Structure 1
Amino acid sequence: MKKIDSINSFSLISHTEPDRKLIVHLREVYKKAKKKFDELDINFKLLNISKDEFKQLLKIACYCHDFGKTSIYFQNKLKKDNLSIKEKKLSEHGLISAFFGYFVAINEFQLDERLASFVFMAIRYHHLNLDNSEEMQKVDELEKILEIFKGIKKNSKEVDSIYYKLLKLENITEKFEKFLNEYKNRVFMEDIDYIDPYFFRFKDY
């Protein structure tokens, strides 16, 4: 699939008033986060992580945190005032973005599960009320994630182009779909109650 090259050719947006292109927003978030990181005096030894590893986590989390906004459901939400209950649910982007970030950390950057879990948690909880965090990770949410992903596939050309441009990832939509299907099969075979990234052992897709 031919990738989109020019920034002006990207159409997905992250916010309105004014409209802001998603790819521009992701770059701005990373730029600000990196600036803040450079100003901090972090004790990496205490965290049991190297500076280079932390930089990788920061980049992945910033670029993947709004992945779910690429769905047609979220894009429609930005243009529509009155949403049905179903439309509101499918326009959510936090959990699928957290799984995507975790997947990218493990599969594309070859980070271990401990480090990748930092990405998952950073993305999952940056918009979440911690009082209901357990409720939000019941396995029922997985069906919603799979439905949201169908809406992301509708924009797969631009999604692949965004993540190639930002992180040099190839065919990332297709790879992530394989992961989600494998994860779904494992979850229902094992009959677990809560979504947990550690439950899945990643393969190379």
Structure 2
Amino acid sequence: MSISFKLRSHLNNNSYEEGQLLKDHLENVTRIALESNKLHGVKGLDDVIRIICMSHDFGKASSYFQDYLKGKEYSKYKNHGEISAYLAYYLLPDEWKLIGFMCVRKHHGNLEPGIELFSCNEAEISEIAKSIEKNKDEVERIYNCDLTDFFQKIKTPEFLNEPRSIYRKTVSKRMDLSSILYLQ
């Protein structure tokens, strides 16, 4: 049986139909990052790199983002960085959750750490999550895993507040987040 993918990440020639498939975009970004890591010799990070890269545009699977690409009515729910960051956080091992969240959350903007990086609009995230759930079959084929637990957790304040809580603990211990990025 042939599996057909329909979700797009970008337009091509201003055309949705010719646009790049979300699956292809995520796999290409992941491949490039893994190849780059191989050249630089940092061992043991392949799984972390794979999760961060595959998660970075997860939110583009929402019908709001797909409608945005199609040129339909603008919606504040088209934003994809925040829910994508929560997927990275969910999938990553504990020691990488905070860094992964930060990277994905601000991958189109300033990565300056600060508590505002961890503020979230629970209602917006819940609405975007519901929208992505409508495409759950395709999304689970892209990620090759069952995301039922993620879709339940993303609707809870406890889960949504975890990254902020970890960040506050890190800051209160006066840990330097930048040192984590420089693997020596």
- Interval containing the TM-score (normalised by the shorter chain): 0.7 to 0.9
TM-score computed with the length of structure 1 as normaliser: 0.70
- Call closer, same or farther: CA 1:122–1:187 in 2, change over 3 Å: closer
Higher normalized helix content (fraction of residues):
1
- Call closer, same or farther: CA 1:143–1:128 in 2, change over 3 Å: farther
Tell me the amino acid that sits aligned with residue 152 of structure 2. Answer: K
What secondary structure is seen at the aligned counterpart in 2 of 1:128?
A: coil
- Cα deviation for residue 81 of structure 1 reads 5.7
Find the counterpart in structure 1 of residue 166 from structure 2.
198
- Segments of 5+ residues of structure 1 without an aligned counterpart are 43-50, 106-110, 200-205
Find the counterpart in structure 1 of residue 130 from structure 2.
150
Q: Percent identity?
A: 31
Within 5 Å, give how 1:1-205 maps onto structure 2: 6=3, 9-17=4-12, 18-42=18-42, 51-52=43-44, 54-80=45-71, 83=74, 87=75, 89-105=76-92, 111=93, 113-130=94-111, 134-135=115-116, 137-139=118-120, 141-164=121-144, 169=145, 171-172=146-147, 174-181=148-155, 183-184=156-157, 186=158, 196=164, 198=166
Higher relative contact order (CA 8 A, sep 6+): 1
Tell me the amino acid that sits aligned with residue 36 of structure 1. Answer: S
What secondary structure is seen at the aligned counterpart in 1 of 2:154?
A: helix
Aligned CA-pair RMSD: 2.6
- Cα deviation for residue 135 of structure 1 reads 3.9
- Call closer, same or farther: CA 1:175–1:58 in 2, change over 3 Å: same
| Residue pair 1:57, 1:118 contacting (<8 A) in 2 also | no
CA shift digits 1:87-112 (9 cap, x unpaired): 0x20000010010011012xxxxx2x
Distance 2:114 2:72 in 1: 27
Q: Which runs of 4+ in 1 moved over 2 A?
A: 128-139
| Residue pair 1:13, 1:19 contacting (<8 A) in 2 also | yes
- Call closer, same or farther: CA 1:63–1:130 in 2, change over 3 Å: closer
- Segments of 5+ residues of structure 2 without an aligned counterpart are 13-17, 168-184
